[in-house]
């Protein structure tokens, strides 16, 4: 009998292992990629399943109890057959490329204790059946694409769960309070999802919980005041990068086993609780980027901290000296606060382990402590943007520093030459101080590992030594605004690693004679150069043809350098060029047409040279401030593709001819500050797309033509200081888009209109027109009113209506007789009926909404110059909308041809409409070869600084990843206002999260983006006069970029994410 039972048991076992084998073979069949062919070659029928790679069988039943195929480079889906592995206890498929969903059949694995699908591509909701696995203890679903909410039912039968990790998915909704039922839970990590709402208080009632990780979500509300009242084993509380607010509860001190407390990047306010000093086991404290205030509690000096991070918190006062007695510290960041006082002279006597010390952006004063030499582990030392004085301690050269940043202080004395020989040094920044001395000439004095040198705005002198070429990894060299003399070394670019060179504001000269100057030649060897600044040096050089070899060059500033000769045509080879400034030199000849090949060019300044008048090569941008004289050539008005004409600040004379109407696609015409004369041509009114028109400060005369009221797209009109006379045309009341009007300092008379755009204008628009009258708000006298005599009133009341009626009846009879005769003379043709009065004008927003933002799903087709989209108008009419790409040469001509065809075509399906929105144009033109100096944005304001406004909106869109037309901007809220309200303390709430990951560079990136957004808001000021100048925009961005590069490249600090 016993023998028979054994035979039956053996037969059952054989049958069950066959089931396991079939399940695994089904998994193998679902693979689309087996990178190393491991399973393909090893999992074969005929060999023992228990000997297969990644398979573990139980000793007793000989069934598969563990499947571990992690990191094998597999791709495919999980088959339902895997649910037949009924003895499976452990399933680990981590770090592969599996996708799809987890099959429902896995719920049959009732013995399963461990599941890890980390680092795959699974999607869909988290399967509720996972919570029904009675033995499950470890659940790892991190780094996938799971979506939806966390089902509360998940926790009904999961009483044995100890570890849950959902990091890096797309889960949303509230965190279920039912998690508090998991009485054995030790680790709960739900970071980097999209959870919202408050943190359930029930979670803090789990006495076994050791780790809570909720960082990088959208959680809000206060922390419970009783969060640590229950007996707690909590060791890690990571809540950074949320929207939590309120005060930090002092009850945290009851979590006596807490080792890591991360509350950074929230909205906590108030003071830092001194009770945190009672957390005797605390090692890492992250409180940065909140709305805290007050001083740093001295009780923190009682702790054995390793990491202390409190940047951008608004903290004031002194740093308690006891902080520098915490011998376990390795990382300290107190940047961007308002801390003051001096550093203790013995600060490094008790900090043998300190590796990173960041104190920049405060108000520290005093001398640098000489004890810095005792911080023997120090790698990064940044005290920039403070008020330190005195000399640089010699002891600093003994440290194995990687980054040394003293930017923007008041340091004096000689720059130690030995500092360049620190073999580990990668970043050296002493810019904006008062240091003197020379650069070392010895080759051995330059570390081959140094990558960035920023010494600009000091008092350094001497020559730039050839030995600098020994710094073979150098890619940023800033020596601007010192007193360097001599020549640019021939060997400077021998390593070809340099990307940024700023020699501006020195006394560098050309090496050879004036007949063949070549100070630029050595720079042309820097093949990877992206920024080149040599402004304000007496180079007296020519721009060589070889500049076209710098294919990566983005910024070239050579203004005020005495540059002579022509602009080489090879400059058109610089496909990445964004800024070209050769202002105030001695350039002559014409601007080469190849400049038009620089598709990314955003800023071009050639003012103050001797360039000739042939400036129409682009058809979109003309150069200002070049001393051009004589009359404007008639050939200029024949450039039918001209979008932007700016010839301001020259000496042009003569009259504006009627041919100006040929510029029928022009959006901007700026001829201000010249010597133009004569009367305004009425043909100007035939420019339907004109949005900005300025003739300010010329020598015109005569009246303002009524025809200017036909400029239906006009938003900006400046005719100030032009000696005009007569009345202000009433037709101006029809200019519904007009936002800015300046008619000041003329000889205008009569009543100022009060309707249409005039309702939003102020007295500034009409000042110094002595004969003008109108409403009191225009600060002019009231207009006189003539009182009619009774006889005149009788004539107006009785005689005039009778005469008018007779005239009207006569006209009707003539009209009817004429129509009858015409009907007899020809056969009617209904297709030729086209009434101008039926023409409808569409705004850009209407077309944008009709096509859902010109999305791909609305795209009907593409041609050589344009794309056609399907749109549904607000009245339900379905239309086809063609959008021309102005970046493509010939697109405007194609547009004109099609307009001519459509104009002469009659068909019932053609919409009688017009749309000449400059907003459409600016989206394309600004990405074309030149800047389009016109402004667009959520407010639609236009000004003489329209380019600055447009650029500001572009910055806001780029760094917020929002469009002005997004649905969130409704009512009074718009993109600019949204960003403005976040400044200066909450800019991270509006920044694209992908730009600000919480790494070692986070604070530096935050400071950089904050500067950019403040600049963008300044660009978008309501009043044009309040906006920053474009030169200041460039200066600010350049300074921000340089500072960002120098602060980030070598700051490889430890990752702080929890």
> How many CA atoms, within 13 angstroms, populate the side-chain half-sphere of residue 594?
13
Instruction: Tell me what percent of the chain is helix, strand and coil, each rounded to the nearest 5.
Output: 30, 20, 50
C-beta atoms surrounding 384 within 10 Å:
24
d(CA 393, CA 387): 16
What does the angle CA 401 – CA 406 – CA 408 come to, to the nearest 5 degrees? 165
d(CA 205, CA 228): 8
> How many CA atoms, within 13 angstroms, populate the side-chain half-sphere of residue 263?
24
For residue 632 the two structure tokens come to 């404007």
CB-count burial class (<10 Å; 0-12, 13-18, 19+) for 600? middle
What does the angle CA 711 – CA 712 – CA 718 come to, to the nearest 5 degrees? 50
User: Looking at the DSSP assignment, which residues form a beta bridge with residue 271?
Assistant: 293
d(CA 406, CA 412): 12
d(CA 853, CA 846): 10
Of 707, 742, 692, nearest to 722 (Cα)? Answer: 742
Of 643, 610, 673, 694, nearest to 930 (Cα)? Answer: 643
The DSSP result for 40-58, as a single string, is HHHS-BTB-GGGSTTEEE-
> How many CA atoms, within 13 angstroms, populate the side-chain half-sphere of residue 1004?
22
Q: Are 432 and 456 in contact (CB under 8 A)?
A: yes
Of 964, 1057, 1054, 1051, nearest to 1016 (Cα)? Answer: 964
Which DSSP symbol is given to 813? Answer: H
Backbone angles phi, psi at 1015, to 5 degrees: -65, -45
SS3 category, 648 = coil
Q: Are 445 and 422 in contact (CB under 8 A)?
A: no
For residue 76 the two structure tokens come to 């495919």
The DSSP result for 662-676, as a single string, is G-TT-SEEE--SSEE
CA distance between the termini of the chain:
64
Helices (H), 851-945: 891-903, 918-925
Which DSSP symbol is given to 631? Answer: B
Sign of CA pseudo-dihedral 619, 620, 625, 630: positive
Length of the chain equals 1058
858 marked as binding residue: no
The DSSP result for 733-797, as a single string, is GG-TT--EEE--SSEEEEEPP-SGGGGG--GGGTTT-TEEE--GGGTSPPPP-PPPPHHHHHIII
State the chain's maximal CA–CA distance in angstroms.
Answer: 139
Helices then strands (H, E): number in the chain?
Answer: 11, 62
d(CA 454, CA 427): 8
d(CA 712, CA 258): 68
For residue 240 the two structure tokens come to 């950074």
CA-to-CA separations, 573 to 543, 995, 1032, in angstroms, rounded: 14, 31, 28
Q: Are 259 and 284 in contact (CB under 8 A)?
A: yes
For residue 1016 the two structure tokens come to 């963008």
Of 256, 196, 246, nearest to 225 (Cα)? Answer: 246
Going by the annotation, the residues of the binding site are: 882
Going by the annotation, the residues of the binding site for ATP are: 882
């Amino acid at each position: 009998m016993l023998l028979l039972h054994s035979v039956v048991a053996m037969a059952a076992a054989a049958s069950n292992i066959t089931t396991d084998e079939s399940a695994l073979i089904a998994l193998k069949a679902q693979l689309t990629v087996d990178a190393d062919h491991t399973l393909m070659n090893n999992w074969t029928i005929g060999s023992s399943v228990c000997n297969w790679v990644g398979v573990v069988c139980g000793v007793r039943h000989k069934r598969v109890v563990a499947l571990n195929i992690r990191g094998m480079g597999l791709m495919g889906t999980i088959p339902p057959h895997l649910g037949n592995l009924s003895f499976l206890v452990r399933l680990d498929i981590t770090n592969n490329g599996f996708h799809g969903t987890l099959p429902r059949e896995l719920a049959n694995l009732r013995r399963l204790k461990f599941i890890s699908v980390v680092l795959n591509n699974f999607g869909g909701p988290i399967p509720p059946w996972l919570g029904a696995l009675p033995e499950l203890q470890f659940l790892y679903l991190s780094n996938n694409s799971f979506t939806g909410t966390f089902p509360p039912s998940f926790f009904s039968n999961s009483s044995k769960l100890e570890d849950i990790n959902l990091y890096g998915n797309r889960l949303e909704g509230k965190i279920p309070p039912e998690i508090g039922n998991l009485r054995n839970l030790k680790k709960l990590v739900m970071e980097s999802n999209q959870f919202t709402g408050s943190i359930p208080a029930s979670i803090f009632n789990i006495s076994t919980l050791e780790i809570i990780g909720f960082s990088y979500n959208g959680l809000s509300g206060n922390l419970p005041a009783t969060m640590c009242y229950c007996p707690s084993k909590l060791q890690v509380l990571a809540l950074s990068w949320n929207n939590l607010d309120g005060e930090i509860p002092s009850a945290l001190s009851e979590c006596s086993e807490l080792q890591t407390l991360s509350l950074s990047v929230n909205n906590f306010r108030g003071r830092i609780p001194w009770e945190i000093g009672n957390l005797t086991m605390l090692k890492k404290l992250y409180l940065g980027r909140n709305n805290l205030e007050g001083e740093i509690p001295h009780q923190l000096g009682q702790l054995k901290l390793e990491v202390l991070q409190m940047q951008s918190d608004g903290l004031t006062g002194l740093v308690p000296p006891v902080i520098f007695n915490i011998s376990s510290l390795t990382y300290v960041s107190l940047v961007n606060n308002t801390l003051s006082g001096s550093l203790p002279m013995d600060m490094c006597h008790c900090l043998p382990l300190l590796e990173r010390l960041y104190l920049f952006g405060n108000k520290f004063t005093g001398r640098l402590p000489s004890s810095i030499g005792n911080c023997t582990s120090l790698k990064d030392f940044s005290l920039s943007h403070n008020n330190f004085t005195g000399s640089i301690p010699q002891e600093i050269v003994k440290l194995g520093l990687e980054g040394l940043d003293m930017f923007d202080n008041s340091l004096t004395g000689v720059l130690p030459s030995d500092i360049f020989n620190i073999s580990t040094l990668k970043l050296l920044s002493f810019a904006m101080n008062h240091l003197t001395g020379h650069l070392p000439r010895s080759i051995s004095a330059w570390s081959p590992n140094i990558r960035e040198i920023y010494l600009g705005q000091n008092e350094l002198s001497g020559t730039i030594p050839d030995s600098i070429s020994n710094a073979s990894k150098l890619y940023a060299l800033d020596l601007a605004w010192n007193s360097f003399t001599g020549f640019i070394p021939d060997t400077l670019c021998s390593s070809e690693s340099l990307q940024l060179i700023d020699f501006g504001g020195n006394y560098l000269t050309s090496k050879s004679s004036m007949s063949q100057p070549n100070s630029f030649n050595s720079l042309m060897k820097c093949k990877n150069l992206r920024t080149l600044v040599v402004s304000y040096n007496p180079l007296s050089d020519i721009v060589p043809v070889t500049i076209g070899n710098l294919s990566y060059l983005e910024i070239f500033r050579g203004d005020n350098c005495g540059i002579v000769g022509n602009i080489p045509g090879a400059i058109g080879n610089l496909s990445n060029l964004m800024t070209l400034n050769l202002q105030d030199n001695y350039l002559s000849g014409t601007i080469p047409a190849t400049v038009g090949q620089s598709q990314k060019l955003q800023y071009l300044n050639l003012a103050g040279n001797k360039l000739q008048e042939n400036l129409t090569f682009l058809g979109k941008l003309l150069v200002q401030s070049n001393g051009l004289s004589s009359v404007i050539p008639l050939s200029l008005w024949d450039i039918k593709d001209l979008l932007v004409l700016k010839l301001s600040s020259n000496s042009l004379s003569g009259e504006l001819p009627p041919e100006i109407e040929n510029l029928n696609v022009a959006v901007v015409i700026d001829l201000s500050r010249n010597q133009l004369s004569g009367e305004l041509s009425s043909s100007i009114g035939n420019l339907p797309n004109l949005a900005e028109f300025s003739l300010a400060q010329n020598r015109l005369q005569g009246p303002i033509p009524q025809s200017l009221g036909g400029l239906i797209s006009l938003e900006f009109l400046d005719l100030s200081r032009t000696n005009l006379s007569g009345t202000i045309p009433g037709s101006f009341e029809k200019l519904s888009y007009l936002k800015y009007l300046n008619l000041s300092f003329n000889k205008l008379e009569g009543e100022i209109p009060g309707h249409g755009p005039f309702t939003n204008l102020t007295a500034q628009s009409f000042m110094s027109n002595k004969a003008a009258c109108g409403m009191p708000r225009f600060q002019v006298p009231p207009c006189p009113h003539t009182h009619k005599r009774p006889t005149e009133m009788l004539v107006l009341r009785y005689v005039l209506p009778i005469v008018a009626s007779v005239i009207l009846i006569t006209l009707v009879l003539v009209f009817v007789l004429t129509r009858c005769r015409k009907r007899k003379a020809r056969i009617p043709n209904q297709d030729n009926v086209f009434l101008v009065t039926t023409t409808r004008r569409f705004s850009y927003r209407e077309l944008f909404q009709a096509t859902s933002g010109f999305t791909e799903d609305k795209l009907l087709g593409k041609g050589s110059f344009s794309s056609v989209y399907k749109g549904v108008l607000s009245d339900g009419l379905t239309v086809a909308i063609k959008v021309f790409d102005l970046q493509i040469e010939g697109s405007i001509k194609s547009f004109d041809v099609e307009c001519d065809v459509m104009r002469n075509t009659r068909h019932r399906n053609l919409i009688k409409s017009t749309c000449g929105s400059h907003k459409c144009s600016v989206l394309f033109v600004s990405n074309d070869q030149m800047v389009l100096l016109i402004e667009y944005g959520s407010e639609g304001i236009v000004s003489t600084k329209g380019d600055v406004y447009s650029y500001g909106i572009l910055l806001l869109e780029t760094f917020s990843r929002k469009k002005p037309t997004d649905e969130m901007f409704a009512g009074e809220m718009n993109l600019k206002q949204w960003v403005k309200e976040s400044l200066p303390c909450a800019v991270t709430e509006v920044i694209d999260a992908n730009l600000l990951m919480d790494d070692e560079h986070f604070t530096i990136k935050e400071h950089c983006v904050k500067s950019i957004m403040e600049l963008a808001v300044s660009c978008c000021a309501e009043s044009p006069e309040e906006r920053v100048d474009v030169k200041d925009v460039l200066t600010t961005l350049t300074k921000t970029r340089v500072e960002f590069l120098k602060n980030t490249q070598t700051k490889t600090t430890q990752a702080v994410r929890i």
